[in-house]
Amino acid sequence: MNMRYFEARDLSVSYDKVAALHGVSIGFNQGQIVSLIGANGAGKSTTLRAITGLKRASKGEIWFEGERIDQVPPEKLVSRGIAMVPEGRRVFPHMSVRDNLLMGAHTRKDKAAIASDLERILNRFPRLRERLRQNAGTLSGGEQEMLVIGRALMTRPKLLLLDEPSLGLAPLVVRDIARLILEINREEGVSVILVEQNSRMALRISQYGYVLETGRIGLEGASAELLDNAHVRALYLGG
Amino acid sequence: MEQILVNGAILAANYALIALGITLIFSIMNVLNFAHGQMFMLGGLLVYWLVVQIGLPYAAALIGATIIVGVIGMAFEVFFFRQVMRNSTREENTMLLAVGTALLLENAALSLFGEKQRGVPPIVSGVYKLGDAFLPANRAFVFGVSVVLIVAVLLFVNYSRTGRAMRALAQDRTATLLMGVNTARVSTLGFGLGAALAAVAGGLLITVSGVNAGVGTAISTKAFIMIMIGGAGVVSGALLGAVALGFIEAFGYAYLPGSLTYLMIFVALIIFLLIRPQGIMGKPWG
């Protein structure tokens, strides 16, 4: 069987015996952005948590670059090139912006490369450079989102998992974040799994989309087609 | 007056080691270490045992005792605290466990070392005179070592890679895990370091005032007072609390009869907590 770059097969997850995912399968090729959209509680975040091992799947397999990763502990996935930006941003609030970014390089030993990555990320996010010595808790929501994405980039990811990056941000800032995700994908060749409530934004910047409905894939297809799909339009794009 | 300030500074430096240790454990593990005073006591008695019974030089005994108690702290984390935290959903369970480890250490010390007050002769002899105050050279030595250790711990926590991971862990465990940090290992290290700091404080103080197996609860109480004054889980608060308690105690002993000092401290603490429950440097909950 031909293996894709990333494949999750038939994932099932339950919380305290209540099933949250029933046999979810997703897969894509290197360099793609795929989005997972769906209502609250449909299982989008759970899918990401299962991929990173924060929540173990009770059934199913996860393959990345031809290796099975579903039994790998979450902290070991970072050095394999998978970085997750959790929902709600989760900066280290009482730590400087600089230390937050350096936490992303925790598993790396290459001092010179860490310094040059830090420089590159600060060039990408000039706002963070201005606030380098400030505590992360004092940043605005949009700046915090940039910080957690920058922090994840410091791990040198091949695959970036983004959980609701637009949550709670003003429309203009959401547009900035969307452009940023595209840039990172194109310029750094990072594949992205994007979980979003903002379905329109997610489908616009991704090539492929999955619609989760109560723990199952209700619908999947090229993002452009999903944007035109009557069902998706009615339920997730506000008509 | 100078004498009181000198005494206060020495107490403050020793207390700061205790407060830093309990703060490390509290912030990294979210565990209030009720056994902290017992770890202090064990550090002191182990130094006594290594110097007086085994005949090691003091420096070797202090290092040895610190390592032994540090390893005990790490073992507590791996075999007790981690298991209880994994299996329980209530935070009180780790508190009960901490009280249990305090009893365990205290009774182990009683059976190994007996209940007598033990001391080690001063490491350096002589007395300095600072203005009108007398400063025994041994107390100056204890003060100096304490300050060096405090600075070393602060540098480690603020500037090393592992120290940064400890601070991250204290702020967000999941996010830290997602940075590829082996959070279990960092927790173990943090618990060990906290325990070692209590032990080294005890190992230093035994050359000044002696230590007995029952001193633990009183020391833990002082540690709690310090972090309540300064703010729980905040390093700057721990240091501030230590300085405050050290000087208040020095003044109290100079001007108030006997046991009245701690009565006043507790009354003042209750009033202070009514006004500022999160301590001076602490963040309000929620």
User: Best interface-test mutation with B: which of A56, A77, A89, A94 has the largest number of B CBs within 10 A?
Assistant: A94
Express each pLDDT in A55-81 by its tens digit: 999 999 999 999 999 999 999 999 999
The pLDDT assigned to B30 comes to 87
What's the structural domain count of chain B? 1
Nearest CA in chain B to A81: B180
Asked if A173 has any chain B CB less than 8 Å from its own CB, the reply is no
Residues near A25 by Cβ (< 8 Å), separated by ≥ 6? A7, A8, A9, A10, A11, A60, A217
Per-residue confidence band for A236, with pLDDT thresholds at 50, 70 and 90? confident
The pLDDT assigned to B234 comes to 86
Q: What is the CA radius of gyration of chain B?
A: 19
The pLDDT assigned to B70 comes to 98
Task: Give chain A's mean pLDDT.
Answer: 94
**CA dist., res. B150 & res. B243, Å (int):** 13
Pairing of strands A191-196, A159-163: parallel
Nearest CA in chain B to A155: B179
Per-residue confidence band for A239, with pLDDT thresholds at 50, 70 and 90? low
Q: Minimal Cα–Cα distance from B73 to chain A, Å?
A: 24
Asked if B185 has any chain A CB less than 8 Å from its own CB, the reply is no
Domain span at B24: 2-275
Nearest CA in chain B to A90: B175
Chain A residue numbers touching B178 (CB-CB < 8 A): 52, 54, 74-75, 78, 83-84, 86
- Residue B71 corresponds to which tokens in the numbers above? 């390893």
Chain B residue numbers touching A95 (CB-CB < 8 A): 164, 167-168, 171
Residue B283 pLDDT > 90:
no
Average pLDDT over residues A137-164: 96
Express each pLDDT in B167-221 by its tens digit: 999 999 999 999 999 999 999 999 999 999 999 999 999 999 899 999 999 999 9
Express each pLDDT in A193-205 by its tens digit: 999 999 999 999 9
Asked if A56 has any chain B CB less than 8 Å from its own CB, the reply is no
Express each pLDDT in B94-112 by its tens digit: 999 999 999 999 999 999 9
Express each pLDDT in A84-108 by its tens digit: 999 999 999 999 999 999 999 999 9
What region does A53 belong to: left with phi over 0, alpha with psi -120 to 50, or beta? left
- Predicted ipTM? 0.92
Q: Do B171 and A93 touch (CB under 8 A)?
A: yes
Chain A residue numbers touching B157 (CB-CB < 8 A): none
Helices assigned H by DSSP within chain A: 44-52, 74-80, 97-104, 111-124, 126-130, 141-153, 171-188, 199-205, 223-228, 230-236
Q: Which residue among B164, B168, B178 sits closest to A86, beta carbon to beta carbon?
A: B178
Q: Which residue among A75, A91, A95 sits closest to B182, beta carbon to beta carbon?
A: A75
- Whose tokens are 């929902």? That residue is A87
Q: Do B180 and A95 touch (CB under 8 A)?
A: no
Q: Minimal Cα–Cα distance from A90 to chain B, Å?
A: 6
**Domain locations along chain A:** 6-92+158-236
Q: Do B174 and A78 touch (CB under 8 A)?
A: no
Task: Give chain B's mean pLDDT.
Answer: 92
The pLDDT assigned to A227 comes to 94
| CATH code for the domain in which residue B94 is found | 1.10.3470
Q: Do B165 and A103 touch (CB under 8 A)?
A: yes
- Whose tokens are 């948590």? That residue is A49
| Residues of chain B above pLDDT 90, percent | 76
The pLDDT assigned to B286 comes to 38
Express each pLDDT in B213-267 by its tens digit: 999 999 999 999 999 998 888 889 999 999 999 999 999 988 988 788 888 889 9
DSSP secondary-structure letter at A138? G
Residue B247 lies in a domain: yes
Residues near B6 by Cβ (< 8 Å), separated by ≥ 6? B130, B133, B134, B135
Residue B282 lies in a domain: no
The pLDDT assigned to B284 comes to 59
The CATH architecture to which A6-92+158-236 belongs is 3-Layer(aba) Sandwich (3.40)
User: Best interface-test mutation with B: which of A45, A72, A106, A158 has the largest number of B CBs within 10 A?
Assistant: A106
Residue B238 lies in a domain: yes
Asked if A123 has any chain B CB less than 8 Å from its own CB, the reply is no
Asked if A87 has any chain B CB less than 8 Å from its own CB, the reply is no
Q: Minimal Cα–Cα distance from B185 to chain A, Å?
A: 11
Q: Do B179 and A90 touch (CB under 8 A)?
A: no
The pLDDT assigned to A104 comes to 96
DSSP secondary-structure letter at B211? B
Interface A–B counts its CB contacts (< 8 A) at 63
Q: Do B168 and A95 touch (CB under 8 A)?
A: yes
**CA dist., res. B181 & res. B203, Å (int):** 33
Closest CA to A86 of B230, B232, B24, B174: B174
Asked if B27 has any chain A CB less than 8 Å from its own CB, the reply is no
Per-residue confidence band for B281, with pLDDT thresholds at 50, 70 and 90? confident
Asked if B160 has any chain A CB less than 8 Å from its own CB, the reply is no
Q: What is the CA radius of gyration of chain A?
A: 17
Residue B285 pLDDT > 80:
no
